[in-house]
Structure 1
Amino acid sequence: MGCSSPRESVVTALLVAVAGGLGAVARLLVDGLIKVRRPGIVPWQTAVINVTGSLLVGFAASAIGTGPHLDWHAVLAVGFCGGYTTMSTASVETVTLLRTGRSLTAFGYVGVSLVLSLTACAIGIWLGHRV
């Protein structure tokens, strides 16, 4: 982190914790909204969450500088996006698809999620450079 004093480091850590909690709540809300609108076998809600989180992390990586003071990149990327995105849930959902005999769906889900997440991150970086 780019904090210049122990006090700023503590403040940054607390803000990362709060942002992480907000990210987790946002994930819960987005997950619920998508499950209601798109119930089914493929866990699209997790893909949407990870893709939008990748866009935001990419944006934060390029738009928010890390200076000698409070590290807003850490608050947004580590805190909010860390609480919002979820590789572990995507992994469980993929293994569940595999265990239930839906191998093609599982590999398609992983491939689409990865390509869209990487693309979203690149777009976020591109947008961040324009701010």
Structure 2
Amino acid sequence: MSRPPEFRVDPDVDLHLPADRGELTAHPAAVLGAIAAGGVLGALARAGIQAAFPHHPTGFPWATFGINVTGSLLIGALMAVIGARPTGPLVRPFLGVGLLGGFTTFSAYAVDTQRAVAVGAAGTALAYLAATVVGALLAVWAGDAAAARLLARTGREAR
């Protein structure tokens, strides 16, 4: 049995897992194209939501908070699905890295926090910092757990 090449197309591919090694069968340009296409769609969705629900620098940035928590929930669910069943080599790069990576916006999280501090709303900034980290971590856990339960119910649990 030949070993997979020791280069990584995607830095979070674990070469010790057969499912992850499958991503190496895709050409690097295809992986980058999938990530870019997903990223465009995710960023457009994020920008649309943020434009629809703007906030004042002293107010809590609910749109960005909701985007990051929802994106984290979906990332957790996606990882459970991908771990439970075989997928094409471009599914995780397109959906996980591209679409959901472009949708979640931790750079806007940092900018929103800095702006709140700059206008004297340090309490709001601190609450937003803490709520986003806790909310995103709980959401990724909940997405993973819910998807794993659903997959187990339908007989598609991880091998």
TM-score by length of 2: 0.71
Higher relative contact order (CA 8 A, sep 6+): 1
Structure 2 CA distance for aligned equivalents of residues 61 and 26 of structure 1: 21
Larger helix proportion of the pair: 1
2:61 is aligned to 43
Equivalenced residue count is: 127
Rg bigger for which structure? 2
Structure 2 CA distance for aligned equivalents of residues 34 and 107 of structure 1: 21
User: Against the structure 1 CA distance between its residues 13 and 67, is the aligned structure 2 distance closer, same or farther, given a 3 Å change threshold?
Assistant: farther
Q: 2:42 aligns with which of 23, 43, 50?
A: 23
Matched AA of 1:99: A
- Displacement of 1:73 in angstroms is 1.6
Structure 1 CA distance for aligned equivalents of residues 26 and 80 of structure 2: 26
1:94-125 CA deviation, whole Å, 9 max, x = no partner?
A: 01111211111111111111111111111111
**Contact 1:3/1:68 (<8 A) preserved:** no
1:5 is aligned to 25
Identity %: 31
Structure 2 CA distance for aligned equivalents of residues 84 and 24 of structure 1: 5
User: Against the structure 1 CA distance between its residues 33 and 92, is the aligned structure 2 distance closer, same or farther, given a 3 Å change threshold?
Assistant: same
The gaps in structure 1 that reach 5 residues or longer are none
TM-score by length of 1: 0.85
- Displacement of 1:11 in angstroms is 2.5
Q: 1:106 aligns with which of 118, 125, 138?
A: 125
- The list of structure 1 runs, each at least 4 consecutive aligned residues, that deviate by more than 6 angstroms after superposition, is none
Structure 2 CA distance for aligned equivalents of residues 89 and 29 of structure 1: 14
